Amino acid sequence: MTGPHPPRRARIAFSDSAAEQLEKITGEAEIHALDRTLVVISVDPEIGRPVAAHTTGPQLRRYTDELEAVRVLYFVTALRTVVVVAYIEV
């Protein structure tokens, strides 16, 4: 008999501009910090604060990890299965 499954994590996708930013990150410490931040967001997509309220389209959110010095702007798809990263700052 198996135990209960942990909550399913959302898949992370990157906008074109975020993918370009990701390619420019070369330091191992920065990559590790970003990875940890993305795991936090994938486990709990609602953790970020809303950036601006609007009625059309998905809600843009901002998550800042002060310890890792990482800021990510993202939105979550309607079914909460995909997090689309729009901006990365490490």
Tens digits of per-residue pLDDT, 2-16? Answer: 667 666 899 999 999
Query: Looking at residue 59, what is its pLDDT?
Result: 87
Which residue has tokens 């970020």?
Answer: 48
What sections of 7-52 are H helices per DSSP?
16-24, 28-43
Those residues with Cβ within 8 angstroms of residue 54's Cβ, 6 or more apart along the chain or in another chain: none
pLDDT the model gives residue 5: 65
Q: Give the pLDDT confidence of 20-68 residue by residue, as tens digits.
A: 999 999 999 999 999 999 999 999 999 999 997 666 778 899 999 998 8
The CATH class, in words, for 11-89 is alpha beta
Confidence (pTM): 0.85
Domain ranges within the chain, ordered by starting residue: 11-89
